A and B are shown apart, each in its own frame.
Chain A
């Protein structure tokens, strides 16, 4: 299929979707497509390999029970939840998915015992059923940015506001690698309105709830709730190096060159008043308001002009109210800094949708996002079920390939998942296993050392 055809295909579908309006099953998504998707395209083996973290090998240090203690949760049609599913091998997982055809697959933690048998253990009283490992996860939703975007609201997302997600990926990804030293990080499009992040290093999977909360709090700059005008408060005589780096490498440039213009954040009185509210000096705000109430014809974009005026006023040294010095940064942070759903990251037992699921409302596949090229990611170009179905049909006359996805637009996301995430991850799992086994041997050789 060449580029032009696929472009047309998508346009047709869009028109279709609009015509149907509120019909429950949009053209991008229906159960038959989903069945076919699970039968031919969903990378079940790769997912299972991932969840095994090397424990499916022959090494004596492998924990054979490991993968079978992982919770999977299925959401069936009509929102029936099947929680605490577990699978000992890839065939079981594959058969169950094909048979039940879940609209959503969630991945939970690895428990101390097989979650499918949790009730049997519950009777023994002592809290033996408890989560012991879980990827460190992050969930960022565009709906949480509704007060700073004017193009869309709620679950809608367009190319004007999506870059907010790109910025979030850049800031969080860099900190996870450079600050926390994590290496095995998977970013996934959530299928409609946001992104998920899976940090899979052994060290990350073994963090306690308290440690997870600490990482989440490290990322938190939003201190105000709905009842304080300032959403971000950056106190202290200097900013933490992490915030300095985020600001100078990502946020400032994005705010000044993109967001300012794309969201027109100074263009009307309502909008600029919201920004003036964040300035703690009444005379500074009235000076600015005075300038902005009369519209002057200018060749330059009104947003750029007003932002420059604001910066000049605040940095002129004319006003001395407490907290004024940090105000420019605070404004940039409150418009652009990532807004994490903290509860998701804080606890081990939070479920998160598996990659490569299909979003039932949009029909789009939850494909991985390459953090090194996240600027190029276009949520409106993510393959949909119906598009994949067509691609399969077009190639249908050809001899059966080993991997059907290679002739669809899912080929690239899957090969990215393998080469950039899964293979390096499994390699380091093996190394970690090897070294912990060796040190255990060493220990047992030196008796009574304790």
Chain B
């Protein structure tokens, strides 16, 4: 993207270009961009992506996401000049690509939200525009012939019914037969009929095919952009773009809680006490189960282990803590051999030596605990009965309980957790919970200011990333 001098101007869109479709962001545009717009456009797009990310973590349904994306896009991505709308879309995407290419964590965040955005924008397109976009990807798939359709009709009907779709008929239904690897999300959800390695993808599901292609493009592009950034752009632009790029990403992502901050240390002797007072339900539950069973399965060890790291449990203490429990079940020797490695791994002392970050609410809510597992988000994964029992053990009164359950029924799990926080601490909390470690640190702050009345005026820091 040219920042200063335009090499050529894109011909303005003529009024005859009726079918508007989505840009695929294949290559950076040769456009003149004012430095101001460079930043403003990026911030507007970030607002959209952050909204998408919040929507996903609240467990919104596809239809709700569609509406959300539509609203967010209208609110933030408008431009007074109709001809500039597409340019704003493209420019903001490429600026954020620079911003979010620089670490694995940033790339992941950007990729997943850009893809969600693309998916829902695609679904909002007219069928004609969708077909045009498919053609642009040059997908080598042909629609299933009528004869073949007749052969698998029954199965296709069954799949359609199982996913609540209308019954497809030979005349109106277009199915594409594609290798199952191309549509992992449809396979994972059993939303397609699969036979001998081929998935039968209905026209209203081609979004998955297109998204797979788009993900591939963007994921590769991000890695390339990162290389270019580190090798040349960062240095060349150190007085102009680099400072903008480097501050943009922190404005919305929120802290990752990989390094404990204010309450730098928690020692083993305090841990039971702080677990009782300041752990969110998901962690309390894991903690209690660990104390009870002296064991947790992999998912639980990861969720609780990284949380404790974020809380400030040092590696040696973490090893001692886990060992004390596990050795009662599997023996100290087996603990050293089979489990200690993964704890050191979490602290970045083994394997790839990545310092892993504690799980956010979004990650925990979208996890899929199975038989024998205790991890996940209790508001999402517990039965109503179990959740009520757990909440009352935490000290949530019956009035607040109904409000919490109401949020749960509407799948606002983080709001349910926020209400729990408010009920237990007896104080309102406007920011909302989006990370278990945020719950913890705000709870600790609350108790500190309560025990220290001189700091009365100190308001509860909302810990909000914005």
A residues adjacent to B (C-beta < 8 A) = 79, 144, 147, 178-182, 203, 207-208, 210-211, 213-215, 217-218, 220, 222-231, 236-244, 339, 342-343
Contact = CB atoms under 8 A, between A and B. Distances in A.
A238 B184 CA distance: 22
B155 interface: yes
Contact of B187 (A218, A229, A231, A239): A218
Given A179-B194, A203-B197, A207-B181, A226 B374 contact: yes
A373 B261 CA distance: 60
Name which of A178, A181, A241 has the most chain B CB atoms within 10 A of its CB. A241
Contacts of A225: 369-376, 381
Contacts of A217: 187-189
Interface string B195-206: 111100000000
Given A225-B373, A228-B386, 15 more contacts: A147-B371, A179-B196, A180-B180, A203-B181, A211-B184, A217-B187, A220-B370, A224-B381, A226-B374, A227-B381, A229-B385, A231-B371, A239-B162, A241-B193, A242-B194
B62 to A, nearest CB: 15
Contacts of B383: 224, 227-230
B355 interface: no
Contacts of A214: 180, 184-185, 187-188
B162 A237 contact: yes
Nearest to A219: B190
B340 interface: no
Contacts of B162: 236-240
Contact of A238 (B161, B196, B375, B378): B161
Contacts of A181: 195-198
22 contacts: A144-B372, A179-B194, A180-B194, A180-B197, A181-B195, A181-B198, A217-B187, A218-B187, A222-B371, A223-B368, A226-B371, A228-B382, A228-B383, A228-B386, A229-B383, A236-B161, A237-B162, A238-B161, A240-B190, A241-B193, A244-B158, A342-B368
B164 interface: yes
Given A225-B381, A229-B383, A231-B371, A241 B155 contact: yes
Interface of B: 155, 158-159, 161-164, 180-181, 184-185, 187-190, 193-198, 285, 298, 337, 368-376, 378, 381-383, 385-386
Nearest to A339: B371
Contacts of A242: 190, 194
A79 B164 contact: no
Nearest to B376: A225
Contacts of A244: 158
Contacts of A218: 187-188, 190, 194
A213 B188 contact: yes
Contacts of B185: 214
Contacts of B372: 144, 225-226
Contacts of A229: 383, 385
Contacts of B155: 241
A236 B163 contact: yes
B128 to A, nearest CB: 30
B371 A178 contact: no
A215 B180 CA distance: 9
Given A179-B194, A240-B162, A211 B370 contact: no
B382 A227 contact: yes
Nearest to A240: B190
A147 B195 CA distance: 33
Contacts of A182: 197
A230 B385 CA distance: 12
Nearest to A244: B158
Contact of B370 (A79, A203, A342): A342
Which of B190, B374, B382 has the most CB atoms of chain A within a 10 A radius of its CB?
A: B190
B429 to A, nearest CB: 25
Contacts of A237: 161-162, 164
A203 to B, nearest CB: 7
Contacts of B194: 179-180, 218, 242
Nearest to B198: A181
B205 to A, nearest CB: 14
Contacts of A203: 181, 197
Nearest to A126: B227
B188 A178 contact: no
A279 to B, nearest CB: 14
A227 to B, nearest CB: 5
B193 A227 contact: no
A231 B373 CA distance: 12
Nearest to B336: A79
B391 to A, nearest CB: 13
Contacts of B196: 178-181
A167 B376 CA distance: 29
B327 to A, nearest CB: 15
Contacts of A144: 371-372
Contacts of B188: 213-214, 217-218
A281 to B, nearest CB: 15
A214 B371 CA distance: 19
Contacts of B189: 217
Contacts of B181: 203, 207-208, 211
A215 B337 CA distance: 31
Contacts of A210: 184
B409 to A, nearest CB: 14
A223 B380 CA distance: 11
B187 to A, nearest CB: 4
A294 B314 CA distance: 59
A225 B376 CA distance: 9
B231 to A, nearest CB: 12
CB-CB nearest 10 A-B residue pairs: A181-B197, A214-B184, A217-B188, A225-B369, A238-B161, A181-B196, A228-B383, A214-B188, A214-B187, A240-B190
